[in-house]
Chains A and B, each alone.
Chain A
């Protein structure tokens, strides 16, 4: 592209800014408004005091929780003095019903927060916090803003919205809200039941993003196979497993549930054997003394197929289970209609044994693809087929690949053929979502999640950059029953709420191209983010410490944690709900609807909600607790008592195991056939793929499909010989907390390289490494280790991009390199990337601030 250079210059001049430049540009606006005196409230904020040292007993104690998009949700206890949180502790057993200090039973374990939660004051009181509405004054992405009043900011947004909808129609605004920083039952950011989706949908101008970056592969797989994404066990069931196969699962980093890692320690003590299949010898593998099976990334389905072959070949499958509960596992379980279906003629066993394609999927065949010795594949298959109960936990990371859903489906096939589903100590995960928890306290009604177009989330930049020359299958459009079906949206504006998607979606260079083409970019967040730098309007949102809500784990764990307003909102920050409610009133009054829009959007509130949200929030939450939690979840504790305790831990009648009722009581699965569908009804009946949201052909049974990039690729590996995986870091929740220097002190943003590869490249630990492919470049320090499979390198996702003048990311965000070409079934291809690397002298900056170095710098320095 001829304008590449110009564009790079623009980016160079924008993202070069350190935090200081940003603050300076904020200062320019702030200076004009100092007379308002709105800042004076915070002058008690001596939260870093060492002396005098207030003890916990001298301070007020408020139970609340952390709030990130990590699958866990743990208790945080704020110790506050005046209106300042001085420190945070976590659950110590005191706060629950019948609690006492130190109470920590298997049934009601303490909900201890991880390092990210414990660092939350770093987010509340950080220099990156957004305290005032701001409007862009420089170029988009340059990071220059001026402080404006809420009036000015909201009117600007409202007018722009109306204008864009008038000109471009109901698909022109792209909703990119996500569960980043705004996760509670009331103040919620999400695609399906989020506050932003409700606002834009009611405004009748919304394109939604249907594929989930984290786990679309397993979501798709579980819906096809089991008819639901609630395929999971509660984490206490892991203590009952005799064999735990952790496929691409590293809960020592992700935490992934209230007490998952702790219950698995119990399993270990009970004699459970652990196996970890991962290109990295993770801390999870080390902790559980696991048999580590390193595997080439993006080849997991092949290894699982090899295991399936061994099991069929040795007749180790649980045939009774298959005959009773499974569709399409073998000839005997094929439905009658399948022979006449366009896409469903083959059964799984025939595929595995190579009946039709002449290629039996033997362990030896698999070894050539996945790099795991055939003998190990057989050994693991034998262990899994002969140990009961055995949990094969097919986690999400290996599914964040091209054709990632085939890995999850193949794992589901193994779970089904060994009969380890619906059994205590077994596993059908998968998604892993278990206890159903009453997740929405705000009005979730016919006005929620209205959309006029829905795209594969990682296709947005492609659509914008290539509009109108985009085919519906390229966009991954969700089918509709009206005249908008198949209409590729002309996206003219973007809304971020609790979302740093510019940083977190794939192929950032393409995204930065696309963002410049838009007419409106709005960002609601608690801190400035890399996305926020590209916004036209920054709307400051208060943290969950500054508003009233209730938290619950959305992944594993069965409890509710009350989140009172611990402190008053900092600066002029407001809640998302306040912002969208007020926007609804403004848009309504500008478009002749009057107050109607606002009143229907926030049914319990008047327009005074802007100034005084507390009684309304209390009303929503109390109603939710009394009508839903108490009614549906057999909770007897009254709202007032719950508020007093701060936490409610459920006692379940029996350990929650996914599909236990289906297996024990014969209740049909939620699939069309009522069975576990290894042959998927939906897929088998499809003949015109272009009209599906998938866009392209998908086999109706799990199959190994060669990915578009892998270490087995005959030509691509010549230019880019290393396979990069981009797992979750431990010290951030995706990109949240990258600005915390004390968290960056615990872990480096680095590239993990095997010793032999590093030796070839002349790289040692601490060297700076340039990593590149055709999509972008970045610089990170090296961590050279025997714990990584040769040929594979790993960089954790979530670093905040920080481009140098040549467009090279100094922060080391791997999404500079990832591809925006998803799997047909929607899974993001985060872990399907080939790269090359070399030692470099280019600069690396782990953070925007001057303490961007990690580790102890124990001698005084004036950097």
Chain B
């Protein structure tokens, strides 16, 4: 990689000198102006809200082009080293990077319609932290290019404790419900997936066909220790008692930018 050249050891340089394979040339004017690119207003509010994927990918194309290595340095073959969640039938195809999994694989294209700015809401290239300079936006999450709350919407914990009738994690109780999520969700949380980065109908179809698809996101790939506080809908009359404690602070509307 050229970009590592500053750290090449003197031996490497010496070898280059010996082999004479350093290309001649005046680098002036050919060097892309990375400084200007990384401070392009497209990276910040408000321009980022209107950024087209094509504009982002103009520079960052590699996030969709790059694939994982076919094998790790120690020789682990990518195709043979699947995580348990990748053996699930909701998981298809070869090993892919997370960007491709969310944007270009067939499952992603069928169920979701993520755009770059669905997740990326700005990023301070000076320090990857909000508030390092006077003129950048203040609502960035320290050290992350994406607010993890967005990931949490799908990758939160399967919180059976707030789900009426469930006595344990889904894998333990699925039998009781015939392995079928929709058994109950015909009644509860009937307004689902009405967000602009999801293909609502396709998701519902997939869920009706096989509840594993539901669990694939809602708990199956729960990277986080907490659940997402899903929007509270008007409480069903058949539910007993008053509004439960856990539901009191929940929002009643989704963030506007996800519902437009």
* Interface positions of A (Cβ within 8 A of B): 16-18, 20-21, 23-24, 26-27, 30-31, 34, 39, 42-43, 45-48, 51, 122, 124-127, 129, 131, 570-571, 739-742, 748, 755, 758, 764-768, 781, 783-786, 804-805, 841, 843-847, 849-853, 855-857, 859-863
Contact = CB atoms under 8 A, between A and B. Distances in A.
Contact of B60 (A122, A850, A859): A859
A30 B15 CA distance: 10
Given A27-B16, A31-B20, A783-B133, A859 B63 contact: yes
Given A31-B18, A42-B11, A45-B10, A843 B31 contact: yes
B9 A48 contact: yes
Given A27-B20, A861-B3, A39 B26 contact: no
Nearest to B21: A27
B163 interface: no
Contacts of A784: 133-135
Given A26-B17, A131-B10, A783-B126, 19 more contacts: A39-B11, A45-B10, A51-B73, A122-B7, A127-B10, A570-B10, A741-B7, A742-B7, A765-B135, A765-B136, A766-B38, A766-B125, A850-B5, A853-B38, A857-B38, A861-B3, A862-B2, A862-B3, A863-B3
A23 B10 contact: no
Given A43-B11, A47-B9, A748 B18 contact: no
Contact of B26 (A18, A30, A46): A18
B33 interface: yes
11 contacts: A27-B17, A126-B6, A129-B13, A131-B10, A739-B6, A765-B136, A784-B135, A853-B38, A859-B63, A860-B66, A863-B34
Size category of the B interface is 35 or more
- Which 3 A-B residue pairs are closest in the complex by CB-CB distance? A766-B39, A741-B6, A45-B11
Q: Is the interface of A mostly helix, strand, loop or mixed?
A: loop
Contact of B34 (A127, A739, A764, A857): A857
A804 B28 contact: yes
A30 B22 CA distance: 13
A31 B24 CA distance: 15
Contacts of B125: 766, 855
A856 B124 CA distance: 11
Nearest to A41: B11
Given A783-B126, A850-B2, A853-B34, A21 B20 contact: no
Contact of A755 (B7, B36, B73, B134): B134
Contacts of B126: 748, 765-766, 783, 855
B25 to A, nearest CB: 7
Contacts of A27: 16-17, 20, 22
A851 B135 contact: no
Nearest to B41: A764
Nearest to A845: B31
Given A18-B26, A766-B38, A804-B28, A849 B18 contact: no
Contacts of B36: 768, 841
B176 interface: no
Given A20-B22, A21-B25, A785-B133, A766 B35 contact: yes
Contacts of B38: 766, 853, 855, 857
B165 to A, nearest CB: 45
Contacts of B24: 20-21, 24
B18 A34 contact: yes
A862 B1 CA distance: 7
A849 B35 contact: no
B83 interface: no
A127 B2 contact: no
B62 interface: yes
Interface string B42-68: 000000000000000000101100100
> Which of B14, B32, B63 counts the most A-chain CB atoms under 10 A from its CB?
B14
A595 to B, nearest CB: 35
Nearest to B28: A16
B10 A20 contact: no
Given A24-B24, A27-B16, A786 B3 contact: no
A12 to B, nearest CB: 10
Contacts of A739: 6
A369 B18 CA distance: 62
B31 A127 contact: no
A863 B134 contact: no
B23 interface: yes
A636 B18 CA distance: 51
B8 interface: yes
A859 B127 CA distance: 16
B180 interface: no
A856 B28 contact: no
Contacts of A767: 39
A571 B17 CA distance: 13
Contacts of A47: 9
Contacts of A129: 10, 13
A546 to B, nearest CB: 12
